[in-house]
Amino acid sequence: MTLEAPDPRVARTRRDVVDATTSLLLDRGWDGVTHAEVARHSGYSKATIYTHWPTRLDLIRAAIEQICDTDHHPPSTGNLGEDLRTSLRDFAVDLTEGHLDRLLAGVVERANTSEVVRDLRGRLYETGTKGMRTILEEHLDAADIDPVLALLTGAVLVRVTFEGVPATDSFIDDLVTRALSTVGASNRFGSLDA
């Protein structure tokens, strides 16, 4: 039995619609994603979109999956302090310039209404912290990884999203030093630059 090659028109339609949905979700937030707006931005009919994505949640899930699948993290150099600083700066930029704050707000707001949204919230957190988790796994005991990760990401999230203040280099430097001092990493790694 041979498998038929997928129709390139269907693949193109799916790509275009998910790209339009992703753009709307990041630019306008959850409420900006409607079948009518996706149709207008993608150039496809609402009937076509409803056929493949019957609900708004189907569209949003496809967009979030695309965001997670295309996410990238700065490469690790093996230097705990510098790698964490670089990763946190990248996270702060994603929050401000990539509109990640708007995306997270929509998912967090709706997480108690749907198991699908709860899963998307988990996927976003896992994807967003993957680089930092990898860095921490290289240097810390397993029991210390989640608490330090929560301290680092939580502080940047509060600073940028809730306080509306940039996560400056000095803020990030201080944050990394404080978070790692809670697990004695500053003693094990000296100044955290080695």
> How much is the pTM?
0.80
Which residue stretches of 29-114 are H helix? 35-42, 46-52, 56-69, 80-96, 100-110
| pLDDT band with cut points at 50, 70 and 90 for residue 46 | very high
Task: For residues 96 and 135, state if they share a domain.
Answer: yes
pLDDT in tens, 125-175: 888 889 999 999 999 999 999 999 999 999 999 999 889 899 999 999 999
**Domain tally for the chain?**
2
Q: Is residue 133 part of a domain?
A: yes
The reply to whether 110 falls in a domain is yes
Q: Examine the domain organization and report whether 76 and 162 are in the same domain.
A: yes
- Residue 194 lies inside a defined structural domain of this protein: no
Provide the b/e sequence for 162-185 (b: ≥16 CB within 10 Å): eeeeebeeebbeebbbebbeebeb
Mean pLDDT of the 85-101 span: 86
For residue 130, give the amino acid letter: K
Q: What is the mean pLDDT of the chain?
A: 88
CB 142 within 8 A of CB 65: no
Q: Does residue 78 share a domain with residue 134? A: yes
Residue 187 has pLDDT above 50, yes or no: no
Structural domain harbouring 109: 71-188
Q: Which of 106-110, 158-162, 171-175, 181-185 has the highest mean pLDDT?
A: 171-175
